[in-house]
Structure 1
Amino acid sequence: MIDIDAIFAADRQHPPQERSLPWPETGGGVTVVIEPKPHWASDMRAFRSDVREYCAYADWTANGARARFFGHVDTCGDDLIRKARTLVAGEIADGLWT
């Protein structure tokens, strides 16, 4: 039986550009959750963990906590992690992970 934490850990074994699940990163005392890049996007986004703000992943990797964050109407990093864990749990329950 595979669990959610094992799936997230296995995903983190891939390089950032190849990941399909969000993951946390901390730099300069700020924790963000990186949203994997959708096929249509030019870059990934880094959402502050507990605040509805985001920046480009390239800005985050270059500047860390000094990156330029923009307000986001309805998403923070904790929301991304929670939604991804809920989706994976549903897939496990449906027998899609063995």
Structure 2
Amino acid sequence: MLARSLLAVRNAVETRANGGYRMVVTVAQVEEKLREALQAKELEVFDTSGGCGASFEVGLVVSEQFAGKRALQRHRLVNGALKEELEEIHALSIKKTYTPEEFEAKK
């Protein structure tokens, strides 16, 4: 069990060219942060970097916290929730941000 845990940590760390290390961000980490920070009801996150954790697309986030907010304010909430992860990833694309009511109307 410990060996498996250590292997998971080793696989989540990437060597940088300068000899340092950086944590590789995963879809699961991004989803967890968004669920916690925004109490997301629906969520779609994709790694668009081919699995290296450098680029992500947030295809959909449904949250009550978006009520009364414009698109830019909603995107700022998403970016704020992922502040630590944004230090490690190269690109983040945010597609759809809805309140639960807006999401139901789109169905």
TM-score bin, normalised by smaller chain:
under 0.3
Query: Which structure has the greater CA radius of gyration?
Result: 2
TM-score, with structure 2 as normaliser: 0.26
Give 1 or 2: higher helix fraction. Answer: 2
Give 1 or 2: higher strand fraction. Answer: 2
